[in-house]
Structure 1
Amino acid sequence: MSNATHLELIHSYRHMYRALLRGVQFSKPARYVARDQLREAYRNGKPGNFDNAKIQRTLEFLDGAAKETGLEHKILKNLLLTRGYFTANARMQRHSRRPDKFYEQPSSLNAANIQRTAFLHYDMTLAMLNDSMGLCLR
């Protein structure tokens, strides 16, 4: 990776993080979820996926979310609320002291299946939003 590409990547990360903080109006739960998502995207993303046009459109979307509590702000708020719920739920299930699935009730197995399906639908909806608007939200 050349030095210019590396600097562009760092600047895009900083601009995106600053715009995300303004977009969620520095609210406590949402800012941490946004930070974690952005870190994961930049750390695990491939260097070839860097698209400056998509980043600029995403920054415009986030600036619109920051300026007023319109549609962009509601979309961003709901995306981060849903992602925060799923990460907190996964963290809680990972650290629970319950026994294995052998002892679980059928209702809890059904609830886990519903949650997996909901998360799949969330990812598909987000992918369609990104494709239709040319954004790079996660």
Structure 2
Amino acid sequence: MNVSKVKHDYRALLKAGYAAVQYERHHKLQIHQRIRHRFEHPPSPVVNDTQINNTIEFLNTAAKRRGLEHDIVRNICSLDRYRAQYDIRPPLYNRKLTPDIRHLHDTSHDELDELIKLLNNELELCL
């Protein structure tokens, strides 16, 4: 894949992502970090043009109307923001937790990651 195609895809995803979150500061930062991470550390199966085009269309639909697509994008951004905050300082940081509660906090985002993976596979997206 040539460099100009990668730049074009990156910029198109950023533009559509920013419009999908309506240029809100915190969500804009999270969508930028998510897209940048996917381009810097690509997943093991290579992302094809169909997935990128479907993702851009999904984000443009999220920008045009406040439907399910808009809610999905905003919730992913919000949960990514909370995850970033908890990575810096987890909840109940200074307290001794039982092993069950510690395990719950450590694995709280696994279901979200699995859900995003299933959504990507079902709709051929690269969120």
- Fold match by TM threshold 0.5: yes
Change (3 A) 1:87 1:112: farther
Whole-angstrom distance in 2 between the partners of 1:23 and 1:113: 34
Inter-CA distance 133–50: structure 2 relative to 1 (3 Å threshold) = closer
State the partner residue of 1:92.
Answer: 89
How many residue pairs match? The answer is: 125
Give 1:111 deviation, angstroms.
3.8
Read off the aligned partner of 1:124 and give its amino acid letter: E
Query: Is residue 2:85 matched to residue 1:128?
Result: no
Which residue identity does 1:58 align to in structure 2? T
Q: Sequence identity of aligned pairs in percent?
A: 23
After TM superposition, the structure 1 stretch with the greater mean CA deviation from structure 2, 23-32 or 42-51, is 42-51
Gaps of 5+ in 2: none
Please list every run of 5 or more consecutive structure 1 residues that lacks an aligned counterpart in the other structure: 99-103
Task: Judging by fraction of residues, say which structure has more helix.
Answer: 1
**What's the TM-score, normalizing by structure 2?**
0.89
Alignment of 1:1-138 (within 5 A): 5-45=2-42, 49-93=46-90, 105-107=96-98, 109-137=99-127
Q: CA deviation at 1:106?
A: 2.6
CA distance in 2, matches of 1:29, 1:39: 15
TM value normalised by structure 1: 0.82
